[in-house]
Amino acid sequence: MQLEKTLETLAQDAVRAATGLDVPPQLRPTADPAHGDYQVNAALSLAKELKKNPREIAGTIAEELRRVPAFCRVEVAGPGFVNLTLERAWLAEQLRRDVLDLEHDGIPQLSSKERIVVDFSSPNIAKQMHVGHLRSTILGDALIRILRALGHEVTGVNHIGDWGTQYGLLLTGMREFGDAAALSESPIAELERIYKAASQRAKEDEAFAERARAELAALQAGNEENLALWRRFVDTTRAELDRVYARLGVTFDSWRGESAYNDDLPGVVERAIGSGLAREDQGAIGVFWPEIEGAPDRLKKQAEPFLIRKKDGAFLYATTDLAALFYRDSVLGADEILYVVDARQANHFEQLFALGALLGVRAKPHHISFGTILDENGKPLKTRDGVAVTLSSLLDEAVARARSRIEEGIAEGKLRLDPSAIDDVAEAVGIGAVKYADLRQNRRSDYQFDWDKMVSFQGNAGPYLQYAYARVAAIFDKAGETIREPNHELDLGEEAAFELAKTLARFGEAVEAAGRTHQPHLLTDHLFALAKAFMSFYEACPILKAEGALQKSRLTLAALTARQLERGLGLLGIRAPARM
């Protein structure tokens, strides 16, 4: 359920009935439990508007709220707060709907479903995927899962960088000093090697550079042999990427990358010129923002144009993105398009979206921007030899560290795990830890990579939540029930049970807010709060030792906790092993 959203609606109705004004009730959790569970603060700001005493207004709002069955105590306090104490029987009844909702576990199903395209991961051929692509992959995957759970129709696209001027160098380099075996074995490393060597060579050897330009022109003109070799680059790279994605548990609905838009590019440039938005300057074509009527203010002041064709006739990253935007809008019929790309590309997307809007694109694009991953010194994360950390090496290290934590836990008697399960659980915990460390951050900020915190079984970390889940699951193992069976009446008389129930009742709005604002950390915040509330509950209210209706109620609260942890982790793309 969506506890705060429900209470907010009730409070807004009360404020309207009391004052005739439809304004946000300013509902907040109380800081001190002695004052109840929530407070409504609207009277203070309304006092100015209505030129009345705030306590008087609070009094009339309180009168309305006293008629609402959700509250057992309503009191005016201080200069004009209305303090609310939840009626536990009401909360129990509301939460029971989530208990019975085996299909969605209380995640609201939106009535306004949208068609959403999510452009994420999108690495480049012939370059190692680096940690920047890791954030895009993890964030994009979580957003897709969350948006689907809310009922949206989502298409996940890997807009892979598989076309561009570098292919002249790659084709020539491959033919002259490429290693075919290495290309099959580890294509990305080999292509990266060829690319580096070829660009170096092109600088020193004009004849080589000339051959590369000729091969590029032949490729662009559709030369069969060059196309076949280019296909091989793409396919081998794709196979290698697939292994990383499989390990991450990430899938795509489409791999429609840059090359797929190649034929559209001349038309896209024509369309921009035809509409009067783009023009020629020294042989190149671009949009010159200060000249554009209806351009956003910030861009109006931007001197650099948005280039869509170079003076040698070559198209750019921007041209392809414009073609993809048209395609997603008109062919895929997207209502919204999410571009999960790091913050450094903010200006590119700002220009792309502005131009798209001026050209009549109806779909609403959003740049789902994110910060950089920093090392312990606050510098962008690199390995010792100074190159960006590759994704696979990072995942290997995470799994190795998770494994040693697990072995420690077993030696200390804290974890119980069959030796045959260690490999699988270490993989789930290691990969889950990397994902969680990323998702728990406000995506817009840079964050510091901290191995110790990341693989910790304590605090706001993936392993802690997986461990919490396994602990609840173990109760059901002992009780001989699954976590989806208990659906008894809830008794929230005990303080710890009431606290747990209040947290459980916020799952729906946590998922809804994470999806609406594209911020998965709103969901990790909920899961962390839930795991903590459960641990306190479990200490105060033993389950298997209890009896009768009380045991059934406690068991039901534990079951809903397990279901939310399992589903919540699932929405983040994190596995929840049942035993550890």
Nearest distance in Å: CB 97, ligand ARG:
40
- Residue from 36, 123, 140, 286 binding ligand ARG (CB under 6 A): 123
Nearest distance in Å: CB 130, ligand ARG:
9
Q: Which stretch binds ligand ARG (CB under 6 A): 121-129, 400-408, 411-419, 484-492?
A: 121-129
CB closer to ligand ARG out of 341 and 492: 341
* 2 near ligand ARG, rule: CB under 6 A: no
Nearest distance in Å: CB 314, ligand ARG:
17
* 471 near ligand ARG, rule: CB under 6 A: no
Nearest distance in Å: CB 342, ligand ARG:
8
* 173 near ligand ARG, rule: CB under 6 A: no
* 141 near ligand ARG, rule: CB under 6 A: no
* 135 near ligand ARG, rule: CB under 6 A: no
- Residue from 88, 152, 159, 440 binding ligand ARG (CB under 6 A): 159
Contact track, ligand ARG, 401-430, x by CB under 6 A: ------------------------------
Nearest distance in Å: CB 12, ligand ARG:
40
Tokens encoding 559: 């079951």
* 380 near ligand ARG, rule: CB under 6 A: no
* 504 near ligand ARG, rule: CB under 6 A: no
Contact track, ligand ARG, 338-357, x by CB under 6 A: -x-x----------------
Cα–Cα distance measured from residue 38 to residue 72, given in angstroms and rounded to the nearest whole number: 12
* 249 near ligand ARG, rule: CB under 6 A: no
Cα–Cα distance measured from residue 308 to residue 294, given in angstroms and rounded to the nearest whole number: 20
* 124 near ligand ARG, rule: CB under 6 A: yes
CB closer to ligand ARG out of 98 and 321: 321
Q: Which stretch binds ligand ARG (CB under 6 A): 44-52, 115-123, 435-443, 507-515?
A: 115-123
DSSP 485-523: S--PPP---SHHHHHHHHHHTTHHHHHHHHHHTT-THHH
Contacts (CB under 6 A) with ligand ARG, residues 311-330: 321, 324
Tokens encoding 394: 């990072």
- Residue from 2, 26, 94, 122 binding ligand ARG (CB under 6 A): 122
CB closer to ligand ARG out of 316 and 541: 316
Nearest distance in Å: CB 402, ligand ARG:
28
Pairing mode of beta strands 364-370, 336-342: parallel
Cα–Cα distance measured from residue 575 to residue 426, given in angstroms and rounded to the nearest whole number: 11
DSSP 102-171: TTTTT----SS--EEEEE----BTTS--BHHHHHHHHHHHHHHHHHHHTT-EEEEE---B--STHHHHHH
Query: How is the beta sheet containing 364-370 ordered, strand by strand?
Result: 153-157, 115-119, 336-342, 364-370
Cα–Cα distance measured from residue 529 to residue 546, given in angstroms and rounded to the nearest whole number: 25
Nearest distance in Å: CB 168, ligand ARG:
19
Nearest distance in Å: CB 396, ligand ARG:
22
Q: 568 near 507, Cβ under 8 Å?
A: yes
Helix (H, G, I), strand (E, B) or coil at 276: coil
Closest CA to 580 of 443, 431, 459, 415: 415
Helix (H, G, I), strand (E, B) or coil at 195: helix
* 361 near ligand ARG, rule: CB under 6 A: no
Cα–Cα distance measured from residue 490 to residue 219, given in angstroms and rounded to the nearest whole number: 68
Report the Cα–Cα distance between both ends of the chain, in Å, rounded.
30
Nearest distance in Å: CB 340, ligand ARG:
8
Helix (H, G, I), strand (E, B) or coil at 336: strand
* Per rule CB under 6 A, count of chain residues that contact ligand ARG: 10
Nearest distance in Å: CB 299, ligand ARG:
18
CB closer to ligand ARG out of 324 and 558: 324
Amino acid at 373: I
Tokens encoding 1: 């359920």
Nearest distance in Å: CB 399, ligand ARG:
25
Q: What are residue 340's DSSP bridge partners?
A: 368
Closest CA to 147 of 253, 226, 239: 253
Cα–Cα distance measured from residue 150 to residue 64, given in angstroms and rounded to the nearest whole number: 33
Q: Which stretch binds ligand ARG (CB under 6 A): 48-56, 74-82, 116-124, 273-281?
A: 116-124
Residue 14, C-beta contacts closer than 8 angstroms, at least 6 positions apart: 25, 40, 61, 64, 65, 68
* 336 near ligand ARG, rule: CB under 6 A: no
CB closer to ligand ARG out of 338 and 523: 338
Nearest distance in Å: CB 356, ligand ARG:
12
Half-sphere exposure of 568 (CA within 13 A, CB side): 36
Nearest distance in Å: CB 480, ligand ARG:
50
CB closer to ligand ARG out of 321 and 491: 321
Cα–Cα distance measured from residue 559 to residue 553, given in angstroms and rounded to the nearest whole number: 10
- Residue from 98, 119, 512, 566 binding ligand ARG (CB under 6 A): 119
The conformational region for residue 340 under phi > 0 = left, psi -120 to 50 = alpha, else beta, is beta
* 460 near ligand ARG, rule: CB under 6 A: no
Phi–psi pair at 230, nearest 5 degrees: -60, -45
Q: Which stretch binds ligand ARG (CB under 6 A): 118-126, 235-243, 269-277, 305-313?
A: 118-126
Q: Which residues of 208-225 are buried (b: 16+ CB within 10 A; e: fewer)?
A: bbebbbebbebbbeeeee
User: Which residues contact ligand ARG (rule: CB under 6 A)?
Assistant: 119, 122-124, 159, 161, 321, 324, 339, 341
